[in-house]
Chain A
Amino acid sequence: MIQFDAVHKRFPNGTTAVHDLSLEMPEGGVTVLVGSSGCGKTTTLRMINRMVEPTSGTIRVGGKDVTRQDAAELRRSIGYVIQQAGLFPHRTVLDNIATVPLLLGWSRRKARARAAELLETVGLAADAGKRYPHQLSGGQQQRVGVARALAADPPVLLMDEPFGAVDPVVRTQLQDELLRLQKELSKTIVFVTHDIDEAVRLGDQIAVFRTGGHLVQCASPAELLARPADDFVADFLGAERGLKLLSLRTLADVPQGPAPESGDWSLVLDAANKPLHWAAKATKDTKGAELPVRPLKDTDSLLAALNESIASPTGLIARVDAEGALTGVSSRDDIHEHAGQAHTEARVAA
């Protein structure tokens, strides 16, 4: 666990970067620090591994005051990932990953073996190890950055806008990978971003900062979206925060019924009962037509369901089991009603 207790940071030029911050970042959870630039989120992160020294207050990692530890040793015990990866351009990927183990005095052979193992963990091919960072794509470099941070298996991982410089498709992939890794590793992660969608996707808890280094609200994504503390947070979450909340809810509780037998459009299934497409019969005025169907599982979000119900010609979504076989359909009204209930519940819940 990481604890901030009345932490204040004023830079020599007089600007206050962090104002009287008290915050707990729970063990094994992802805490995301969000806010516009200059709000103190990066400074907050960098005080944890003493890349920035607090002006007053205490920061404890695992119960120990960070300022009472040797800065270099402290940093070796905390994983650190930065934007643009910050890889060493003169070292191979494998040697980049082996940095901290080598600093800790491991033998070169053992450090390299560990690095090779991590290549696989972060989803890189083994032959990437012999390459130099500039020979990799931005997304691959970022994976190496994560592998380097994990090399000595630190309990805490600090990530400073790690996916800020890659394109949206790669960013989503990297976020998925991080969630998958976190399921296996259960690190205490502190993640800085200015992207609220990224925060909602990754965070167990989100801390929203305002210019001047003030923490405005710290809550779970669902609570933050349902009950923003003030207009600043509400504005920051954006006009679609109702929809974002739906991205956190699954389809599991929405009732489903049998697929309709009659009507203009019918759902065409294959031999294994998997939905293929929507089909309209030809009449004397219209030609027959087909529209694609995107079947949804119980684990898909309400947002995806709402989206599909709008795209569907019948307002119905096709529900399938893990194997992809049809279990039933849900209507636009069912989804809408359920979404509304979920909202109300979230907003009145204590």
Chain B
Amino acid sequence: MYELFSNLGAWLVSGEQWSGPDGIGHRLAEHLQYSLVATLIAAAIGLPLGLLIGHTGKGAFLAINLASFGRALPTVGLVVLVFLAGGLSMLPVYVALVALAVPAIVTNTYAGMTAVDPDVKDAARGQGMRGHQVLFQVELPLALPLIMTGLRLALIQVVATATIAAYVSFGGLGRYVFDGLAQRDLVQVLGGAVLVAVVAVALDLALSGLQRILFRHRTA
């Protein structure tokens, strides 16, 4: 056991492991790229949907049930399904990651919108704001803390799951996990897993810190 961890430590800090097209630096960049692209696409879908449902109050059923749907969705199964239907490309990976991220974004955006004090919305309308002005000047800024929480959760989930890119022969930190499994190289598997976990936790901390700074003058 001790040997395994000392080997893992050596693997993580060795210079050659960090450089080159197969190095950790490159794989990390790939991993972050997949994750950010998938989260951005998910945000482009989930944010307007959540805002629309929250603003109009129509389709609340969808917003609430999307969360449980998202949890129940087998991500690897989705990758395989899209892979079988569409052939080998990054598309199956992105479809799966986006499908994973959208529910968290929609439900949190919706929750943020419904948490806005009805008296404040009423006052906004009463001062003469039109629907879009109420949405963008009052509801959206007030829902922003929860919306950002949704984006953060989505990104963390996507980072943790983006290892599946390697499952269909693409890069990212998942490479180490799947290659290590194929080569029965436990150190490599563990190294990949640890890296993914560290990236996820670091992003989570950084983003929640950012949220705290951005919304420091807010109290309920």
Contact = CB atoms under 8 A, between A and B. Distances in A.
Do they bind each other?
yes
A33 B142 CA distance: 33
Interface stretch (B90-98, B116-124, B151-159): B116-124
Contact of A99 (B117, B127, B218): B127
A134 interface: yes
Contact of B218 (A72, A80, A86, A89): A89
Contact of B141 (A51, A87, A90): A90
Contacts of B125: 51, 75
A49 interface: yes
Nearest to B120: A86
B128 interface: yes
B122 A51 contact: yes
A281 B127 CA distance: 65
Interface string B127-169: 1111001000010011000000000000000000000000000
Interface in A54-73: 72-73
Interface in A78-102: 80, 82-90, 99-100
A148 B127 contact: yes
Given A89-B218, A90-B141, A103 B123 contact: no
Contact of A88 (B124, B130, B219): B124
Contacts of A51: 122, 125-126
B122 A134 contact: no
A74 B117 CA distance: 24
B128 A75 contact: yes
Contacts, number: 56
A219 B119 CA distance: 31
A236 interface: no
Nearest to B215: A90
Contacts of A265: none
B115 to A, nearest CB: 12
Nearest to A149: B127
Interface in A297-316: none
A75 B127 contact: yes
B218 A90 contact: yes
A76 interface: yes
Contacts of A103: 127-129, 133
Nearest to A104: B128
B184 interface: no
Given A72-B130, A90-B141, A82 B123 contact: yes
B217 interface: yes
B120 to A, nearest CB: 6
B141 A72 contact: no
Interface of B: 117, 119-120, 122-130, 133, 138, 141-142, 217-219
16 contacts: A51-B125, A72-B130, A73-B128, A74-B128, A76-B128, A80-B123, A82-B123, A82-B126, A83-B119, A86-B117, A89-B117, A90-B218, A100-B127, A103-B127, A132-B217, A134-B219
Given A72-B130, A100-B128, A103-B128, 5 more contacts: A51-B126, A86-B123, A88-B124, A100-B127, A103-B133
